[in-house]
Structure 1
Amino acid sequence: MPIRTANARWEGNLTEGSGTIATGKGGYQGNYSFKSRFEEGEGTNPEELIAAAHAGCYSMAFSKGLADAGFTPTSVETTAKVHLDKNDTGFGVTRIDLDTVGVVPGIDDGLFQKIAEGAKENCPISKLLAPGAQIGLTAKLS
């Protein structure tokens, strides 16, 4: 299996500095800063990138689970919301909420929900993040 890479460069101190983040194959490059991470400033932040990775991985895992059960999804669209919270030991990702909508001809909602939950448990990014963050799921059959 290939090894995936990304690069980040930061210049300056924490609150006044800024940086760039780029994926190894050039698919994404963006700016980030203290304001984009801890406030509502322009640019991206590590938590958004985690959300993107989780949403993408989950959508693929869910599509595979549906196909394995004999259903070809027309589409699976997932939004991941990563919660960065502060506690006594500092900041941490405490929760990720996955909201997914699937257009899947011929499936009933009960089976759809079961496969959605299985994808949440078996998605590689979920498995990576679950020991430290609670992962919630809302799945809607459209």
Structure 2
Amino acid sequence: MKFTRNANAQWKGSGKEGKGHLTTGSKTLDAAPYTFVTRFEDANKGTNPEELIGAAHAGCYAMQLSFLLGEEGFTPNSLDVDAEVSFEDGSITKVMLNLKGDVPKIDAEQFQQIATKAKEVCPVSKLLDTKIELKVALSS
């Protein structure tokens, strides 16, 4: 399988006083605002690159894990993944994936193994040049 996806960023003004908009090819994000404030101070007023990386990583990881579980004969009821993207001194220093899974008939050890493999082979995990940690919880 081969494909290309597109996104656009527009920025006007200086780094601190300027503002921008992000648009995805699908228009799921359509001129979503971002500024210095939304990136470095108050993310509740718009989006920022780190938040979008977190969403991309969590979504990619959850789908990858679902595929790997399916290869082992398991179908998850739910996979809930939070991605915490840490930024420090001009760099993304870590991504913490917090996984809560509800997967019938799987034991905790097998779930941990498959979850770890998914972290290693997830395309977004492979793209990011930072430490990626994983915390796993399986519902009974």
User: Given the two structures, how large is their TM-score scaled by the length of structure 2?
Assistant: 0.95
Structure 2 residue aligned with 1:48 = 51
Amino acid at match of 2:108: D
Which one-letter code corresponds to 2:107 in the other structure? D
Alignment-derived partner of residue 33 in structure 2? 31
Q: Whole-Å Cα distance in 1 between the matches of residues 79 and 23 of structure 2?
A: 26
Q: 1:64 offset after TM fit, Å?
A: 0.8
Query: What TM-score does the superposition give when structure 1 sets the normalisation length?
Result: 0.93
Deviations 1:29-87 (A, max 9, x none): 3110001111115110000000000000000011111111110111111010111110x
Report the 3-state secondary structure (helix = DSSP H, G, I; strand = E; otherwise coil) of the residue aligned with 1:82.
Answer: strand
Alignment of 1:1-142 (within 5 A): 1-29=2-30, 30-41=32-43, 42-86=45-89, 91-129=90-128, 132-142=129-139
| Distance in 2 separating the partners of 1:5 and 1:139 | 32
Take 2:103 and 2:29, find their aligned partners in 1: how far apart are those partners? 30
Give distance in 2, aligned partners of 1:28 and 1:106.
38
CA shift, 1:25, in A, is 1.2
- In 2: Cα distance, 1:50 partner to 1:139 partner: 20
RMSD of aligned Cα (Å): 0.8
1:128 and 1:12 map into 2 onto residues whose CA distance is 30
**Percent identity over paired residues:** 48
Cα offset for 1:28? 1.6
Q: How many residues align?
A: 136
Aligned with 2:110: secondary structure?
helix
Runs of 5+ unmatched residues, structure 1: none
Letter in 2 for 1:35: V
**In structure 1, how many angstroms separate the alpha carbons of the residues matched to 2:26 and 2:80?**
24
4+ residue stretches of structure 1 with deviation over 2 A? none
Cα distance in 2 for residues equivalent to 1:28 and 1:77: 22
For 1:94, what is the secondary structure of its paired residue?
strand
- Secondary structure at the aligned position of 1:55 is classed as helix
